[in-house]
């Protein structure tokens, strides 16, 4: 039983439970969504109708919420007379159903039954619950747009790995991807660029055609609803005050107009850290309050991500408007000006019952009490935030940036960053040992980040994300020993079965032996970094 992520406790008995044509589902109160999901996925894969059945009938999958279990915990019992999934909440029942699907074999991940296929489940009892409540994947759709169907597919892939937070990176210098009705030029102008750099920003290659796309508000509602049916929370990211050239190109008054001619800016067509940042004016604040008002209507998540990373201060240093604001507020410098900018939206979101989260640069200059931190530049930001009483999501680039290359050597397509192998990700530990038990309670969980500068299509996203996301999912869910003591050989053995599941799902993952010929990108310049990454 090669389950990924590994369950907390499992007892195997001799024999199997055979699924006949009359096999059906009894959905107790609070489990109806899981029953619908099972019929929509296992029904087509197996050819079984999975009709509603009563508890006293044979060949029944019993779904129930059991008070006393942790919310996301489940108990799965496969006995000779039937199957039971009990969850501490409707989420726990759903995660149990994901385990059931894996136990049926890789063909249960297909969309139609294969001829002659029979279905059986090993007699077993599994008790399971997650280590972290935030088990996330960040997908950057700003650099390369992913159409709605691709996003829905990734939500399914997340659910199959028991991941439950989708961090949706919707805006950046290279594109604005969400329709804002009161500011229509954000998508009319900001959602497309005239051309695109191919490879790293030092590459001489360009794709000389427009690139773009955006989600309508109904698209967003559909994505959020689809995620909710899979017990995934969508956390939107609207990046401020840096990474904002697409917005400034659409509305030049948002930029530092006393320093540069913002009317000459277009949506950025290359990569890197952009010097064009938002002006710290009342007009900018009101504009983005309008943006966030529409965002809050679309996303019911507790957290809203405001970016806050990689904001060069040079324009603010040269801007009399920015300097006047520093003097007016009695601030020490431009770092405190950014802190004031972020703090404004922390207060604004808190007044509406939401919580701000941002990249760890938001710690610079001071951070509002209720804000949370995504620690990406290593562990240091997360350690500092936790010690200061802030909640933290650990996503250090040295460990879980999946745009980084998976192996050394010339065959790795557009090699970026450090080598992060499947084993490296499997040995990632989200909770730094420097934290006391009280401080460690501020670590909400962990997240893998997929930045798409050099991922031009869904197949490239698949290649960079898988199979490493499977290792990450086990780190986020399972109660693993210390990194050096983890059984990576055992995980690799279980991955043999998991590769077949990914094949059935059509995932273009990196094979263990290296990239296939069509997965390579010969001649496209990357930015590999030699040696091991910093440990902290």
The pairing of beta strand 171-172 with beta strand 175-176: antiparallel
pLDDT of residue 330: 97
Q: What is the pLDDT of residues 365-399, one digit of tens each?
A: 878 778 999 999 999 999 999 999 999 999 999 99
- Are 72 and 129 in contact by the 8 Å Cβ rule? The answer is yes
What are phi and psi for residue 310, nearest 5 degrees?
A: 45, 55
Residues 6+ apart with CB under 8 A from 508: 458, 459, 462, 463, 466, 519
pLDDT of residue 178: 98
Catalytic pick among 161, 167, 200, 243: 243
Question: What's the predicted TM-score (pTM) here?
Answer: 0.98
pLDDT of residue 400: 98
What's the burial of 70, exposed, middle or buried (CB within 10 Å: 0-12/13-18/19+)? middle
Low-confidence ranges of the chain (pLDDT < 50): none
Query: If residue 235 lies in a helix (H) or strand (E), which one and from where to where?
Result: strand 233-240
pLDDT of residue 485: 98
pLDDT of residue 130: 98
- Are 467 and 422 in contact by the 8 Å Cβ rule? The answer is yes
Catalytic pick among 310, 364, 492, 503: 310
- Are 251 and 291 in contact by the 8 Å Cβ rule? The answer is no
CA distance 374 to 385: 9
pLDDT of residue 395: 98
- Are 316 and 277 in contact by the 8 Å Cβ rule? The answer is yes
pLDDT of residue 266: 98
What are phi and psi for residue 447, nearest 5 degrees?
A: -155, 140
What's the burial of 368, exposed, middle or buried (CB within 10 Å: 0-12/13-18/19+)? middle
Q: What is the pLDDT of residues 259-313, one digit of tens each?
A: 999 999 999 999 999 999 999 999 999 999 999 999 999 999 999 999 999 999 9
CA distance 116 to 118: 6
What are phi and psi for residue 467, nearest 5 degrees?
A: -90, 5
| Annotation says 243 is catalytic | yes
CA distance 458 to 144: 9
- Are 258 and 320 in contact by the 8 Å Cβ rule? The answer is yes
Distance of CA 280 to the CA centre of its chain: 30
Catalytic pick among 172, 219, 346, 439: 172
What's the burial of 55, exposed, middle or buried (CB within 10 Å: 0-12/13-18/19+)? exposed
């Amino acid at each position: 039983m090669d389950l990924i992520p590994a369950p907390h406790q499992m007892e195997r008995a001799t024999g199997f439970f055979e699924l006949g044509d009359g096999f059906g589902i009894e959905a107790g109160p609070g489990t109806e969504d899981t029953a619908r999901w099972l019929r929509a996925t296992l029904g087509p894969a197996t050819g079984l109708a999975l009709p509603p059945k009563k508890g006293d009938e044979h060949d029944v999958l019993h779904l129930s919420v059991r008070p006393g279990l942790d919310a996301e915990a489940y108990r799965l019992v496969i006995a000779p007379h039937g199957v039971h999934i009990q969850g501490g909440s409707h989420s726990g029942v759903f995660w149990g159903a994901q385990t059931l699907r894996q136990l049926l074999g890789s063909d249960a991940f297909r969309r139609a039954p294969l001829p002659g296929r029979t279905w059986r489940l090993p007699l077993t009892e599994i008790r399971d619950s997650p280590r972290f409540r935030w088990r996330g994947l960040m997908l950057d759709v700003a650099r390369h747009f992913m159409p709605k169907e691709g996003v829905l597919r990734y939500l399914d892939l997340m659910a199959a790995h028991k991941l439950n937070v989708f961090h949706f990176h919707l805006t950046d210098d290279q594109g604005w991807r969400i329709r804002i009705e009161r500011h229509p030029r954000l998508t009319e102008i900001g959602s497309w660029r005239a051309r695109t750099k191919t490879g790293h920003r030092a590459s001489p290659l360009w794709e000389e055609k427009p690139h773009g796309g955006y989600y309508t508000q109904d698209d967003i509602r559909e994505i959020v609803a689809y995620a909710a049916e899979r017990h995934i929370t969508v956390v939107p990211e609207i990046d401020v005050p840096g990474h904002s050239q697409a917005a400034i190109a659409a509305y030049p008054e948002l930029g530092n107009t006393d320093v540069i001619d913002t009317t000459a800016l277009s949506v950025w067509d290359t990569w890197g850290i952009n010097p064009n940042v938002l002006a710290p004016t009342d007009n900018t604040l009101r504009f983005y309050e309008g943006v966030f008002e529409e965002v809050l209507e679309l996303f019911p998540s507790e957290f809203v991500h405001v970016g806050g990373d990689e904001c060069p201060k040079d324009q603010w240093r040269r801007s009399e408007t920015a300097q006047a604001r520093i003097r007016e507020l009695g601030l020490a410098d431009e770092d405190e000006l950014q802190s004031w900018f972020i703090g404004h939206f922390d207060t604004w979101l808190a007044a509406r019952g939401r919580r701000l989260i941002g990249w760890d640069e938001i710690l610079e200059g001071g951070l509002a009490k209720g804000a949370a931190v995504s620690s990406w530049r290593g562990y240091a930001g997360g350690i500092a935030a936790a010690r200061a009483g802030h909640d933290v999501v650990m996503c250090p680039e040295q460990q879980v940036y999946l745009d980084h290359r998976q192996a050394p050597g010339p065959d790795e397509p557009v090699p970026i960053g450090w080598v992060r192998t499947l084993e490296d990700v499997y040995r990632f530990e989200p909770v730094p040992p420097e934290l006391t038990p009280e401080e460690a309670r501020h670590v909400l969980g962990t997240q893998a980040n997929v930045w798409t500068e050099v991922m031009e299509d869904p197949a490239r996203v698949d290649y960079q994300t898988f199979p490493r996301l499977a290792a990450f999912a086990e780190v986020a869910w399972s109660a693993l020993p210390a990194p050096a003591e983890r059984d990576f050989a055992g995980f690799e053995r279980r991955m043999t079965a998991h590769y077949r599941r990914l094949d059935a799902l059509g995932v273009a993952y990196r094979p263990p032996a290296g990239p296939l010929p069509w997965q390579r990108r010969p001649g496209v310049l990357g930015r590999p970094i030699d040696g091991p990454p910093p440990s902290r």
